[in-house]
Structure 1
C-alpha cells in the first residue's frame, strides 16, 4: 500500500476527526443562541469564532478541565495500550503517552489549557465548515451525474453547470480526496499541539522519572532477594541430600531432612513476602530477616557439614534497618558461595559493629574441589552492588591462601 494512503486505513485518523469536530460544539451552541436565521457572513463569524472565546478562557482556568481534556486527547488522538488504562495510570504512563491527565497544578498549566481549548474550538469550527462544504460538493457531483440534472454541481466547479454528466462523475472523488487529506493533516496538527499544550510539565516529568527509577531499583532489589534466598535454600537442599545419600546413616539422614525442611520453609516465607510486595495487596507481610537472625544461617551451614567458626561483636541488634538487612543477605550469599563451590570446608565468620562501621568477613579454604575463582558470578556481583548502594565497599577473591569476602558498611 502506498505510504500516503496508509493513514486512511488507520482508525486514529477518524477518531481525531471526531475529536476535532467535537470542538465545534461550543461555537455551534453560541451561534444558535446568537441567532443564525438570515445571518450574514459577519454574524456567522462572530457566532462561531468570537463568542466562544470568553467561554474557553474561563473553562480553561478550571484545574479539573485539564484532566478531562487530557483523557479525551489520550483516547481519541493517541489510541493504544496506554489509552485503555487511562482510568488510573501512573505518572510514568502520563509521560509515555505525551499527554498528562493530571489536573492543573499551576497558572502556567491553566493558561496552556485555556489556549488549547481556544485552538480546539476554532479548529473544530473551521473543520466543520470545510467538511460540510466538501461533503456537499461530493453529493452535488453525484446528483449531477444523472442524465436529467437534479442538482447543480457549481460549488467549486462553476464551469461544469452545463457540461456533460460524465465529467461530473469523474470529479466525484476529487472533493472526497481533498476532505480525507484535510482530515489527516488537521488530525496530525491537533495531536502535535496537544502534546505541547497538554503535555506534562517539567516537574511532572521529573517526578515520573524518579518514580520509574524507584520501580527499577525495587525490581533489582527483589531479584537479588529471590536469588539470595531461593539460591541458598536450593544449595543447602542439594548439599544435604547428597551427603545423606553418601553416608547412608539414618540419624544423619534425619538431620539432613530437618535442615532441608527448615531451609525450605524460610525460603517459602521469603518468596511469599516478595510476592506480596509485587501484588501490593496491602496485607502485612513477614519482616525481612536481619543480622539478628544470623544464627539461623550459621546453623543451616553447620547442618550441611560446614565447620563454622563464628564471632559477632558489637550491638548488632541496634544496627540501622537497611544495613542489617543487606548485611544478612551478604552473609547468606557468602555461605551459599562456600557450599556451592568449596563444599564442607572450615569457614570463619566475623561480624563486627563498632565506630560507625559494620564489618563482615567470611573466609574459607581454597582446597575444595570447585573453589571459586575470578570475579564472576551474579552472587558476588550482587554483594558488591549492595555494598556500593549503601555507601560501603566489598572485596571478594583469594587472600593469603583463602577465599575471602570482606564487606565494610557505614552505619550513618
Structure 2
C-alpha cells in the first residue's frame, strides 16, 4: 500500500499532467489581475476570477485550430511517453485534427472550461499546501506562521520538521488524481469524432487490403514458379533423357526469371506506395502461363472466345492470377495431366473455366487438399479476388473431373 501511494512521486507523467493543469490557469489569472485584482482577493473575488473569462474561453473554442492545439498539448503532457520514461505505443485516443463540426467546437469549449476551472482549483490547493509546508518549516526553525484556512501555529520546535513532507505528499497525490481525471476527460472531449474514426477505419482497411493483395501476389507468383520447377525436375529425373532434361532446365530457368521479375515488381510497389499496379501481367498474356504448364508435361486444351482486350485492366489482371493459381493447383495436386482451359468474354461478363481429371483417390486438384474445395489458401484467394470484383468462383467435382469456374462482371 505505501508503494502505491509513493508511486506517483516517481512518475514523470504526474508532473507533466500537473504542469498541464497549471498552464490552464493563465487566462483567469490574467483576467483577475485586471479585475477584481489579485491583491489579497476574497472568496467572492476568486469566484469572479473563475467566471469572468468564460465568454473569452468559449469564443476561443469556435476557432478550429484551438482543438488541434489542445489535442497536441494533451498528447504530449497527459499521456505516458518517452518523456515520462514509460514508453507506450498505444493510441491515446486524442485527436490532433482541427474542429470540423459544431459538435467538435462544443466539446472543445467544454474541455477548455474544465481545464481552466480545474487548473484554478489545483493552483489554489498548490499554493495553500506549499504555504502550509513552509509554515511547518518556519515553526521548526522557531518562526510560527499561519496559513488560511488552517489555524494559527503558535508552537515551535524541531518536531514540526516531521510534518513538512506531509502537505507536499498530499499535494502530489491530489495532482496525480486530478491529472488522471483530466486524462479520462481528454479522451472523451478531445477524442476523434465519428467522421475521424470512420476515416481512420477506412485507412486501416485499405492498409489491410493492400497487405492481403501483396501476400496473394507473392503466393501466386512464387507458388506457381516453385510448383513448375518441382514438376519439371521430377519429370526430368524420371525420364532419364538428356534432351528432355535440357528442355526441363530451360523451362525452369524461364519460370524462375519470370518469378524474379514479378518479385521485383511487388517489392517496388512496397517501396513506392504511390506506384500504380498497371505493370502486373494481364489476361492477354495467358499464353505464357499455358506454355509454362505445357513445358511441365501437361496437355493443355485451350479455348478463347471473345476479345480479351475488351476486359478492363483490374479484371484482366485478377483473372490472370486466378488462371495462374488454377494451373498451379492442378500441377501440384494432379501432376502433368490433361487440362481444359476455357476463357470467354461477352458483353457483360468474363468466364474462366479450368478442368482436369481427378487423380484417383488423391485429394482433388485445386481443392487445397480437401475434396470439398473449401480449404487451401490458393482456392480461398481465388474466391476472395472474385468477390472483390463483384463476381463468384465455384470449385468442385463435375462429371468425374475437378472444375474451377469463375464469373466476373465487366
TM bucket normalised to smaller: 0.7 to 0.9
Deviation at 1:354, TM superposition (A): 1.7
In the alignment, which residue of structure 2 is the partner of 1:227? 219
SS in 2 for 1:158: coil
Deviation at 1:286, TM superposition (A): 5.6
1:38-92 CA deviation, whole Å, 9 max, x = no partner?
45326852774344334322322221121111111112112348x99xxxxxxxx
> What is the rounded CA distance, in whole Å, between the counterparts of 2:204 and 2:349 in structure 1?
32
1:66-122 CA deviation, whole Å, 9 max, x = no partner?
1111111112112348x99xxxxxxxx99x432111111122212322332222122
In the alignment, which residue of structure 2 is the partner of 1:150? 143
8 Å contact kept, 2:144–2:153:
no
> What is the rounded CA distance, in whole Å, between the counterparts of 1:243 and 1:325 in structure 2?
31
In the alignment, which residue of structure 2 is the partner of 1:23? 24
TM score, norm. by length of structure 2: 0.87
1:172-212 CA deviation, whole Å, 9 max, x = no partner?
33312321221122112211221222111112122222222
List structure 1 segments (4+ residues) > 4 angstroms apart after TM superposition. Answer: 1-8, 32-37, 153-157, 283-286, 368-371
Kindly tell me the number of residue pairs found equivalent between the two proteins: 398
Coordinate RMSD, CA, aligned: 2.9
> What is the rounded CA distance, in whole Å, between the counterparts of 2:68 and 2:157 in structure 1?
55
Aligned mate of 2:251, from 232, 241, 259 = 259
Structure 1 pair 66/133, CA: closer, same or farther in 2 (3 Å)? same
> What is the rounded CA distance, in whole Å, between the counterparts of 1:26 and 1:279 in structure 2?
49
Judge which range, 330-339 or 260-269, deviates more.
260-269
> What is the rounded CA distance, in whole Å, between the counterparts of 1:366 and 1:77 in structure 2?
65
In the alignment, which residue of structure 1 is the partner of 2:154? 161
In the alignment, which residue of structure 1 is the partner of 2:405? 406
In the alignment, which residue of structure 1 is the partner of 2:307? 315
8 Å contact kept, 1:350–1:360:
yes
> What is the rounded CA distance, in whole Å, between the counterparts of 1:353 and 1:204 in structure 2?
42
In the alignment, which residue of structure 2 is the partner of 1:131? 126
Structure 1 pair 305/4, CA: closer, same or farther in 2 (3 Å)? farther
Structure 1 pair 8/367, CA: closer, same or farther in 2 (3 Å)? same
Structure 1 pair 281/366, CA: closer, same or farther in 2 (3 Å)? closer
1:259-289 CA deviation, whole Å, 9 max, x = no partner?
2232223322322333333333545666222
> What is the rounded CA distance, in whole Å, between the counterparts of 2:197 and 2:340 in structure 1?
50
Deviation at 1:126, TM superposition (A): 1.8
Where do 1:342-361 residues align within 5 Å?
342-361=334-353
> What is the rounded CA distance, in whole Å, between the counterparts of 1:60 and 1:130 in structure 2?
27
SS in 2 for 1:394: strand
In the alignment, which residue of structure 2 is the partner of 1:208? 200
Structure 2, unaligned runs of 5 or more: 365-369
In the alignment, which residue of structure 1 is the partner of 2:14? 13
> What is the rounded CA distance, in whole Å, between the counterparts of 1:65 and 1:369 in structure 2?
71
In the alignment, which residue of structure 2 is the partner of 1:240? 232
Structure 1, unaligned runs of 5 or more: 85-92
SS in 1 for 2:155: coil
Structure 1 pair 37/342, CA: closer, same or farther in 2 (3 Å)? closer
Where do 1:319-334 residues align within 5 Å?
319-334=311-326
In the alignment, which residue of structure 2 is the partner of 1:184? 176
1:133-153 CA deviation, whole Å, 9 max, x = no partner?
21221232234334xx13436
Judge which range, 256-265 or 289-298, deviates more.
256-265
8 Å contact kept, 1:74–1:97:
yes
TM score, norm. by length of structure 1: 0.86
In the alignment, which residue of structure 1 is the partner of 2:96? 101
8 Å contact kept, 1:342–1:368:
no
> What is the rounded CA distance, in whole Å, between the counterparts of 1:10 and 1:24 in structure 2?
23
SS in 1 for 2:318: helix
